[in-house]
Amino acid sequence: MSLLPEAEVVRKDLERDAVGRRVAAVTVQSPALVARGGNPDLAGALTGRRITAVDRRGVHLVLDLEGGQSLVVRSGEHGTLTVGPVEEGAARHLQLVATLDKGGALRYVDSGEDAEFLVVPTAEVAALPELSKGGIDPLAETFTWTAFGKELVRRDLALKTLLADPSFVVGLGDRYSDEVLWGAGLAGRRSSSKLSAQEVRRLYRSLLEVLQDAVKHRAAAETEASEDADDADDADPEPVGWLKVWNREGLPCARCRQRIRYGEVVEGQPSYHCANCQT
Name the site residues for Zn ion (rule: CB under 5 A): 253, 255-256, 274, 276-277
Question: What stretches of 18-135 show up as alpha helix (H) in DSSP?
Answer: 42-46
Least distance (Å) between residue 3 CB and Zn ion? 24
State whether residue 64 is helix, strand or coil. strand
Cβ–Cβ < 8 Å for 102, 91: no
For the purposes of burial, counting CB atoms within 10 Å of the CB of 151, is it exposed (0-12), middle (13-18) or buried (19 or more)? middle
Cβ-based nearer residue to Zn ion, 138 or 188: 188
Cβ-based nearer residue to Zn ion, 123 or 256: 256
- Indicate the helix (H) or strand (E) that contains 115: none
Least distance (Å) between residue 205 CB and Zn ion? 18
HSE-CB for 196 with a 13 A CA cutoff: 7
- How far are the Cα atoms of 5, 64, 161, 170, 192 from residue 157, in angstroms, in the given order? 24, 38, 7, 17, 5
Least distance (Å) between residue 186 CB and Zn ion? 12
Least distance (Å) between residue 262 CB and Zn ion? 14
Least distance (Å) between residue 178 CB and Zn ion? 13
Cβ-based nearer residue to Zn ion, 210 or 274: 274
Least distance (Å) between residue 185 CB and Zn ion? 8
Burial pattern 154-190, b for ≥16 Cβ within 10 A else e, equals ebeebbbbbbbbbebbbbbbbbbbbbbbbbbbbbbbb
Cβ-based nearer residue to Zn ion, 169 or 181: 181
Cβ-based nearer residue to Zn ion, 2 or 206: 206
Cβ-based nearer residue to Zn ion, 4 or 203: 203
φ/ψ of 59, rounded to 5, equals -95, 5
